[in-house]
Amino acid sequence: MTTVGEFMTTRLVTMDGNDTLIAAAQEMRDSAIGDVVVTDGDNVVGIVTDRDITVRGVAENMDPGSTRLNQITTRDVITVSQYDDAVAAADLMRTYAVRRLPVIDDGRLVGLVSMGDLAVEREPQSVLADISADDPNN
């Protein structure tokens, strides 16, 4: 059995829910990532993706300089343990139609597993794995 911990991303970016959309977008750009985990202290409260900023923020005419992540955060995030089976994690993504799962250990955020991570691990010859394993082009 392959576990989530064997291929999860540990290079995480977390931000406070009071940070602005601009701050999150700049962090995503600078870190070459597409999401930030929103925390309140050590607690994961949600996740914000680059698409969330565009669709829930900018497209709704929210000011990116004053709108807070709390206003567009996806809450009730499904999480997994680093010891969970990779196939079970993929099933969770399919069931809940999500592309990323925070990895929690003893109540603490330790990683993030994405659909791309699973593709690289489980189907290395797939197009998604090829795209996910490539360097960012931005």
Amino acid present at 13: V
**pTM attached to this predicted model:** 0.81
Q: pLDDT tens digits, residue range 59-97?
A: 999 999 999 999 999 998 999 999 999 889 988 998 999
Degrees to nearest 5, angle at CA 138 with 133 and 29: 100
What's residue 120's pLDDT? 57
Q: pLDDT tens digits, residue range 20-65?
A: 999 999 999 999 999 999 999 888 999 999 999 999 999 999 999 9
Higher pLDDT, 130 or 33: 33
What is the mean pLDDT of the segment spanning 95-107? 92
- Taking Cα atoms as reference points, which of 47, 96, 98, 54 lies closest to residue 70? 47
What's residue 47's pLDDT? 96
What's residue 127's pLDDT? 37
Task: Give the confidence band of 7 by pLDDT, cuts at 50, 70, 90.
Answer: confident
Let me know: does 92 contact 78? Beta carbons within 8 Å: yes
Question: Kind of pairing, strands 108-114 and 100-105?
Answer: antiparallel
Q: How many alpha carbons fall within 13 Å on the CB side of residue 76? A: 1
